[in-house]
Amino acid sequence: MSAAAEALDAAGEAAWARLSRRLGQLQGFGYIVLFVADPTLLAPFKARLSAWLAARHWPWAEVGEAAPASLAERSMQAVFDAAGAVPPPRLVWLEAQRGAGQGAWERARTELLSRLNERRGRLEAELPGALVLVLPDGAQRAAAALAPDLWHVRSLGLSLSRDAGAGPAAPSARLPAASALPTSDAAGASPDALDPPDGLGGPVYAEATPRAAGFDAAEAQDWLQRWTRLRGDRPVESLPLQDEALLALTLPDGLRAQAALAGLGRLDEALDLGAQLVRLARHRQEQGPGLLDIAAGRDLAMALMQWAETLHRAGRAPDALAASREAVVVCRTLVERLGETPAALRDLARALDHLARQARHQGAWREAAEASEACLDQCRTIALRHGETPDTLRAVAQALDHVGLVAQSQGDWNRAGLAFEECLSILQVVDHRLGGSPRARQDLAAALDRIGRVAEALGDWARGAEAYDEAMQLRQPLAARPDDRSPSQPQAGSPSP
């Protein structure tokens, strides 16, 4: 390894350790944001990355512009050109940190973040590895507000700065005024969604799961220790919200730590941490109306849903259901304040789906049915008003699948059959648009299994046999390609509880 690649101080080494660990865990697309406080630190950090990738024989691509003119257009074109290379890159490094605080550069960064957010679906479909976006320190709020969909599913956020006392750093970027950010789509640091519901491999509107981008035991313990040291004996409500140490302990990482602790069987610690994170989110939301209040509302909804999952694991089902209901109320309030933006509707759909699952677990079938139907309405609205893309169509199909499952559990076979048949027709459109991808074929097979079971219950043996035969034919070529199935997706057609 070259001297340049080794020239990292303690803070740089810590940042590098987090980045390399997450890159090693990623399977498929991942969005990583690196905020650089001192530009002189970037060269040795990038040299370390280059050496690490070369040792693994992983190709990568660098994208960057020396001037702000056409930054967004040129960068996006270069990213997708790189994605089409043979062999495809395991990582695309996109530099957009130049000109911190300069008007032309700030406007160019704003456009780039918006373009990236608009093309999230294409990035996930075409880029088989990580996209590392390099921004100036101080752009955290803009990154969350201008690219909310990507921010929600980011794999990692890092700050690259010098150790305290290691010398002066270069000036950081000036934040845009709150009024300059699009409050209709302002996003907070929402965590990855919870475990996917039963059905077609996990919903599009629920995004990534902690199992795909969560913490391992060491990461969870490290976060918990840092949080404990910071809080001390103080109540959560007394913590100064602008404290840099508190801002560094992001809520999404706290929720990942909570999920990891629960998964390790450390339920008492997970319950305690979950309660504190909900209180912290409430504390932030109570600071008053505005951009940060909206972000805190989203954080509170996500914290409540993760809290409900932990409560459910601990056998506290009524408390879990109450937390899920509150998350829906919070998300409905955000829709009222923001309007029916894609991000606000997706948040509400996610919360409604979560409530439906909690209600199903407790046998509260009427509430489960109402929440599932309401979730379906939100997904239809997104597809109708904001475009019938493969992602929005698959979200509608997923919601129909859940409506059908609830109806089936209640013995309403006619409603279940109608929902599953419509789900199948939508998935056939998605399959056609995606060119017969393995994931789309898995979803089709799962939907056909549902239809077969309903047909049998209704005594339509011919339709049942036809559906099962079609599902089997779809699975035969997939059985020879097991690596095409993401580990975060359950096998299509898996039985539901």
Q: Quick: pLDDT tens for 254-288.
A: 888 898 898 888 999 999 999 999 999 888 888 76
Percentage of the chain with pLDDT > 90? Answer: 31
Query: Which of 373, 400, 425 marks a domain boundary?
Result: 373
**Which tokens sit at 62?**
């660098």
pLDDT interval class at 294 (50, 70, 90): low
pLDDT digits 0-9 by tens, 4-35: 445 788 888 888 988 988 888 777 788 999 99
Residues 248 and 146 placed together within one structural domain of the fold? no
Residue 424 maps to a domain: no
Query: Which of 325, 348, 373 marks a domain boundary?
Result: 373
pLDDT interval class at 490 (50, 70, 90): very low
Q: What is the mean pLDDT of the chain?
A: 80
- Is the pLDDT confidence value at 2 over 60? no
Residue 335 maps to a domain: yes
Residue 466 maps to a domain: no
Q: Which amino acid is at 156?
A: L
Contact 254, 273 (CB under 8 A): yes
> Which domain does 244 fall in, by range?
220-373
What is the structure's pLDDT at 370? 95
Alpha-carbon gap, residue 271 to 110, rounded angstroms: 39
pLDDT digits 0-9 by tens, 195-215: 333 345 443 443 333 333 467
Alpha-carbon gap, residue 146 to 306, rounded angstroms: 25
CA contacts within 13 A on the Cβ side of 351:
30
pLDDT digits 0-9 by tens, 379-434: 999 998 888 888 888 899 999 999 999 999 888 999 999 999 999 999 998 888 87
Residues 248 and 127 placed together within one structural domain of the fold? no
pLDDT digits 0-9 by tens, 299-332: 899 999 999 999 998 999 899 999 999 999 999 9
pLDDT digits 0-9 by tens, 21-73: 888 877 778 899 999 988 888 889 999 999 999 988 889 999 988 888 889 99
Residue 430 maps to a domain: no
Looking at residue 243, which CATH number applies to its domain? 1.25.40.10
Residue 434 maps to a domain: no
Alpha-carbon gap, residue 51 to 49, rounded angstroms: 5
194: left (phi over 0), alpha (psi -120 to 50) or beta: beta
Residues 246 and 312 placed together within one structural domain of the fold? yes
Query: Which of 164, 195, 229 marks a domain boundary?
Result: 164
Contact 151, 133 (CB under 8 A): no
> Average pLDDT of 74-78?
92
> Average pLDDT of 221-231?
90
Looking at residue 17, which CATH number applies to its domain? 3.40.50.300
> Average pLDDT of 164-188?
36
How many Cβ atoms from other residues are within 10 Å of residue 460's Cβ?
Answer: 16
Residues 139 and 288 placed together within one structural domain of the fold? no
pTM greater than the 0.85 cutoff: no
Residues 234 and 154 placed together within one structural domain of the fold? no
Residues 142 and 250 placed together within one structural domain of the fold? no
What is the structure's pLDDT at 487? 35
Domain tally for the chain?
A: 2
387: left (phi over 0), alpha (psi -120 to 50) or beta: left
